[in-house]
């Protein structure tokens, strides 16, 4: 019994490949590893090698033909063996099995509504589109819709820019930048400076943060004006399709886009009267630093806040119910960060929950599920976010059990004229994911998009050692049964990192063994958040580890660490 030659799936978006030419003829003897045909995808071309030894008995497709991924395209066996007759695969790609697909998983809602045809009741409306919520999802969608010629209004009940600009990404990164500078001043002797009597002014640090926030939020208002998007201030309600009310005034629209985001969730119970619980929203108005803080939740936000406070001298304890902090990141990265945090005197208590909080005259006493207690003067809860759904509670949009809006790939809800994007969908709670979803939605409405490309979404974590990653972790790739190659290149072997005095951490590449498809890249170390973009682009263009690694990188740069990790997964790292 012989073996079929299958059209490989070489990347996330590949559905079929064109045979450029066969490199072997029927009747040829083939050794395992011999190149047998050349394939062209929408992004790349590649020679494909054989997994089997035998005679090429049959080519089911000829040069120039398109073959769906994972379809039989040839047969290798023994002389005289009966050659199976095949129904040739239809033009559309067959759905690959888990095992055969080597693509990185795209972020997906837990549940999806079936893709809706773009049919919306025609009529005369005040606006083509009303966007509810001016966060990075809503305001970006409004701009793109206006660029496509739509008449657009955006409703916002608070400041323009949403969580991201006012209470999330931007204010925390302004504080992170101050924390980094303070660390540099404290470690100035490492660079040859003698700094004495240095101190920081926390009020001035917060004022700087506010200035950055203000500059950006007013920038969003200017962008609305420039693109002729009308801003309606107030709280929106949408009870039926095509109708949005704000402060008792009714506005009609052809399409509505829900971009109402989320707010901090809370799980703490058994709290004494008088105990103040801080969430990240409240923290943005902090007036003075505590001496000792307990952070409940060792996820991204908990770890970021913990590192910032620690840099300013606060004694931080992180309480995490899972066995380790940052359960979503690659295991090696989480271990490296936990080690760095411990080195900086951040206490991590994992595998425990908070049972209750008592108050004595001066302190809070946090009671843990293992019977221990931690004393502190500030408790910060960072246990995730819940959906802001007050605006559309009576509308009848389908929700997940956790209350997030269910959409199809174009971000359409079960109501054809209502779309939802960003944190409210619970798909991926990141600002750039919200913006991308906003663009997909309005291009569907006004630009006639027929395909919603599922892109790899990078994530960045701004802890003392910065983290960034895209695609599959080593564990996820192995769980999928993929044959993977892994390589870790340390920043300690990178010249630029050494000159910067920031040589901790590494770049880890996970790639598929046979074709070298890059499945995931995980970075911990200096400027990881900027470095990751090379990996995101390489993966989108379906570069292999070899082509990414053999691309010339400037010297001396941190990006050479990425190059070396790609090389380590292909032809061999040079500096290790
Ligand atoms: C502390 C923290 C740090 C973060 N750091 C990062 C980071 O570094 N990088 C990153 O990518 N992401 C980060 N995030 C996540 C990021 O902020 C969110 O993913 C992003 O803001 C979601 O955008 P959105 O447009 O979906 O919603 P939001 O930004 O939440 O905007 C929703 C808007 O809708 C408005 N709204 C709600 N209901 C109504 C209504 N009925 N009528 C009118 N207006 C309404 C709200 O006032 C709000 O302005 C962080 C979040 C937090 C909390």
- Please report whether residue 216 resides in a domain: yes
What's the domain range around 364? 277-383
294 & 369 share domain: yes
- Please report whether residue 45 resides in a domain: yes
**Last residue within a domain, chosen from 341, 364, 383:** 383
pLDDT in tens, 61-82: 999 999 988 888 999 999 888 8
Question: Which ligand 1 atom lies nearest to the CA of residue 136?
Answer: 25
345 & 200 share domain: no
214 & 202 share domain: yes
376 & 390 share domain: no
- Please report whether residue 101 resides in a domain: no
Ligand 1 atom 19 nearest Cα: 430
Distance 171 CA to ligand 1 centre (A): 12
* Per-residue pLDDT at 161: 98
413 & 504 share domain: no
Confidence at 12, pLDDT banded by 50, 70, 90: low
Question: How far is residue 200's CA from residue 567's CA, in Å, rounded to a whole number?
Answer: 44
Mean pLDDT of the chain: 92
- Please report whether residue 536 resides in a domain: yes
Distance 19 CA to ligand 1 centre (A): 46
- Please report whether residue 91 resides in a domain: no
Q: Is the peptide bond before 556 cis (omega within 30 degrees of 0)?
A: yes
Ligand 1 atom 53 nearest Cα: 168
Above 80 in pLDDT, residue 322?
Answer: yes
33 & 146 share domain: no
pLDDT in tens, 144-203: 999 999 999 999 999 999 999 999 999 999 999 999 999 999 999 999 999 999 999 999
Question: How far is residue 211's CA from residue 199's CA, in Å, rounded to a whole number?
Answer: 21
The number of helix segments (H) and strand segments (E) in the chain equals 13, 30
pLDDT in tens, 442-492: 999 998 777 888 889 999 999 999 999 999 999 999 999 999 999 999 999
User: What does each C-alpha distance from 128 to 68, 418, 502, 556 come to in angstroms?
Assistant: 39, 12, 51, 51
Residue (of 461, 450, 422, 454) closest to 438 by Cα position: 422
Query: Residue 235 is part of a domain; what is its CATH number?
Result: 3.50.50.60
Q: For the chain, how many structural domains are there in total?
A: 4
Looking at 242, 553, 555, 575, which residue is catalytic? 555
- Please report whether residue 557 resides in a domain: yes
371 & 407 share domain: no
pLDDT in tens, 393-412: 999 999 999 999 999 999 99
- Please report whether residue 270 resides in a domain: no
236 & 176 share domain: yes
Distance 430 CA to ligand 1 centre (A): 8
pLDDT above 90: percentage of residues in the chain: 81
Query: Residue 557 is part of a domain; what is its CATH number?
Result: 3.30.390.30
Question: Which ligand 1 atom lies nearest to the CA of residue 133?
Answer: 34
* Per-residue pLDDT at 90: 57
Question: Which ligand 1 atom lies nearest to the CA of residue 432?
Answer: 11
Protein residues whose CB sits closer than 6 Å to any atom of ligand 1: 132-138, 155-158, 162-164, 167-169, 172, 235-236, 259-262, 280, 301, 388, 390-391, 422-424, 429-432, 434
Query: Residue 48 is part of a domain; what is its CATH number?
Result: 2.40.50.100
371 & 393 share domain: no
* Per-residue pLDDT at 104: 33
555 is catalytic: yes
139 & 208 share domain: yes
Question: Which ligand 1 atom lies nearest to the CA of residue 173?
Answer: 8
327 & 297 share domain: yes
- Please report whether residue 363 resides in a domain: yes
Least confident segment among 81-95, 250-264, 541-555: 81-95
299 & 164 share domain: no
511-515: long-range pairs with CB below 8 Å, 24+ = 511/484, 511/485, 511/486, 511/544, 511/545, 511/569, 511/570, 512/102, 512/477, 512/482, 512/483, 512/484, 512/485, 513/483, 513/484, 513/485, 514/49, 514/483, 515/8, 515/10, 515/46, 515/102, 515/544
């Amino acid at each position: 019994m012989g073996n079929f030659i299958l059209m490989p799936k070489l990347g996330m978006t590949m559905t079929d490949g064109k045979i450029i030419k066969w490199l072997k003829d029927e009747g040829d003897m083939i050794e395992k590893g011999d190149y047998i045909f050349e394939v062209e995808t929408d992004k790349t071309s590649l020679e494909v090698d054989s997994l089997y030894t035998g005679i090429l008995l049959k080519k089911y497709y000829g040069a120039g033909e398109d073959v769906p991924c994972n379809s039989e395209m040839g047969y290798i066996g023994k002389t005289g063996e009966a050659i199976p007759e095949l129904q040739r695969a239809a033009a559309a790609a067959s759905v690959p099995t888990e095992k055969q697909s080597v693509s990185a998983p795209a972020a997906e809602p837990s549940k999806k509504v079936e893709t809706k045809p773009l049919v919306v009741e025609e009529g005369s409306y005040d606006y083509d589109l009303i966007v509810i919520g001016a966060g990075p999802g809503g305001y970006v969608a409004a701009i793109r819709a206006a660029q496509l010629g739509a008449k657009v209004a955006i409703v916002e009940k608070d400041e323009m820019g949403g969580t991201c600009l006012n209470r999330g990404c931007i204010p925390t990164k302004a504080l992170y930048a101050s924390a980094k500078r303070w660390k540099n001043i404290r470690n100035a002797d490492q660079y040859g400076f003698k700094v004495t009597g240095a101190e920081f002014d926390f009020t001035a640090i917060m004022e700087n943060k506010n200035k950055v926030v203000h500059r950006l939020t007013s920038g969003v208002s200017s962008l609305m004006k420039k693109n002729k998007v009308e801003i309606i201030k107030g709280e929106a309600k949408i009870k039926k399709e095509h109708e949005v009310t704000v402060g008792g005034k009714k506005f009609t629209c052809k399409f509505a886009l829900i971009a109402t985001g989320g707010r901090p969730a809370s799980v703490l119970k058994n709290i004494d009267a008088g105990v103040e619980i801080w969430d990240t929203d409240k923290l943005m108005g902090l007036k003075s630093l505590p001496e000792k803080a307990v952070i409940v939740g060792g996820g991204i936000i908990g770890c970021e806040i913990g590192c910032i406070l620690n840099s300013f001298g606060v004694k931080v304890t992180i309480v995490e119910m899972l066995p380790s902090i940052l359960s979503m990141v690659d295991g090696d990265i989480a271990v490296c960060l936990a080690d760095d945090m411990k080195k900086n005197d951040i206490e991590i208590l994992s595998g425990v929950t908070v049972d209750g909080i008592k108050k004595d005259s001066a302190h809070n006493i946090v009671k843990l599920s293992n019977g221990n207690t931690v004393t502190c003067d500030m408790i910060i809860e960072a246990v995730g976010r819940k959906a802001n759904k007050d605006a559309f509670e009576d509308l009848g949009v389908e929700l997940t059990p956790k209350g997030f809006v269910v959409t199809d790939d174009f971000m359409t809800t079960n109501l054809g004229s209502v779309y939802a994007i960003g944190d409210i969908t619970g798909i991926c709670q990141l600002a750039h994911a919200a913006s991308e979803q906003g663009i997909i939605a309005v291009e569907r409405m006004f630009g006639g998009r027929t395909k919603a490309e599922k892109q790899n979404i990078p994530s960045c974590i701004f802890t003392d050692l910065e983290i960034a990653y895209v695609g599959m972790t080593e564990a996820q790739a192995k769980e999928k049964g993929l044959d993977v190659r892994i390589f870790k290149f340390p920043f300690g072997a990178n010249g630029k990192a050494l000159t910067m005095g920031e040589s901790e951490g590494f770049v880890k590449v996970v790639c598929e063994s046979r074709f070298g498809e890059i499945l995931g890249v995980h970075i911990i170390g200096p400027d990881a958040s900027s470095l990751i973009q090379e990996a995101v682009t390489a993966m989108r263009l379906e570069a292999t580890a070899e082509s990414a690694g053999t691309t010339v990188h400037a010297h001396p740069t941190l990006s050479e660490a990425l190059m070396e990790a790609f090389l380590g997964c292909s032809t061999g790292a040079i500096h290790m």
